[in-house]
Amino acid sequence: MPGAGQAALTHFTDLKARYSRWRRGLKRRVIERAVLRKPAVRDVVLAQLSERGHLLYCEVPQGCFFVDPADQSVGRDLLLKGGWDAGLFDTVTDLLARAGRFRQGGTFVNIGANIGVQVVSALKGGHFARAVAFEPEPGNAALLERNVALNGFEDRVTIRRTALGEAAGRGELRLHPRNKGAHSLSLWPSVDGREVVSVPVERADAALSELGVTPAEVTLMLIDVEGFEPQVVAGLGDWLAQRIPLLIEFAPQRYTSEQRDAFVARLSAHYTQCHALNTGETAPRGIAALASIDRFTDVLID
């Protein structure tokens, strides 16, 4: 009866395989319900991975990235939502092109580059020939370097592990314990954060000139520095007269009234209009409209 025995063995193997697949599926569903769908449990698991020095890898339309599992902002969105600010550069470059203020193949400058999502997105989208990225926090800077290389852009990106401000020196970078993109030189980013790291600070005009970058080649500058934007813009000095398009996370809640007034006045001296990108409006406003913005807003200034 060798034929019957072989058939029985095949049937048993098939049943065993089906049971194994069912068990794996059950485990996955249980884990999804118990961990992934319960943010508190998920965050504890991810934090434990981070404390052990592990990184998570993800492939999304914007590129390939290693992320810190404990990051509940950019890292979490890449892992769970499949992107971060996707489409931003298409929107910005389209607005600038309509105004005759953008040319392909220039240099993108990212001040507060975090782990490199915007740098990679900018180059991957084909709008820029090269990029210069500034990121002072050591952990973010290490991931920035890794992610730029991972996407094959190491020959097109210059990375500088410094903060930018109005005067050269050193600054105390206050770290957010969960949001790795919220570290700030100007204020405590969270009520429970108490870790500080000393970082070098440079003026933007001096740092870019030292790198051999000229105002004429920069076609867009992104400034996202968690409340330190007025100081960064002040450090651009005479570069402002060249009217380089600026994409700024405008954060009025984080500025003193004096800082805000000086910030708007400095920009108004050189620029004529702005776009509030995340308000649903498409028409440009006069630059003076910055004074009426009362919440976090990505603003394109040209």
Q: Mean pLDDT for each 10-residue chunk of the chain (302 residues)?
A: 69 78 76 65 72 89 96 93 91 93 95 98 95 98 98 98 98 95 93 94 98 98 97 98 97 93 96 89 88 92 95
Query: What is the predicted pLDDT for the residue at 35?
Result: 63
> Residue 43 falls within a domain, yes or no?
no
∠ Cα 182 187 192 (to 5°) = 70
Residue 277's CATH number? 3.40.50.150
> Residue 39 falls within a domain, yes or no?
no
Query: What is the predicted pLDDT for the residue at 48?
Result: 75
Q: Looking at the 3D structure of the chain, how many domains does it have?
A: 1
Query: What is the predicted pLDDT for the residue at 54?
Result: 86
Nearest to 225 by CA among 189, 267, 261, 266: 189
How far is it, in rounded angstroms, from Cα 15 to Cα 21? 10
Query: What is the predicted pLDDT for the residue at 38?
Result: 66
> Residue 223 falls within a domain, yes or no?
yes
Query: What is the predicted pLDDT for the residue at 34?
Result: 65
pTM over 0.85: yes
> Residue 11 falls within a domain, yes or no?
no
> Residue 126 falls within a domain, yes or no?
yes
> Residue 182 falls within a domain, yes or no?
yes
> Residue 215 falls within a domain, yes or no?
yes
∠ Cα 273 135 52 (to 5°) = 135
Query: What is the predicted pLDDT for the residue at 36?
Result: 61
Query: What is the predicted pLDDT for the residue at 41?
Result: 67
Give the residue numbers spanning the domain of 119: 86-301
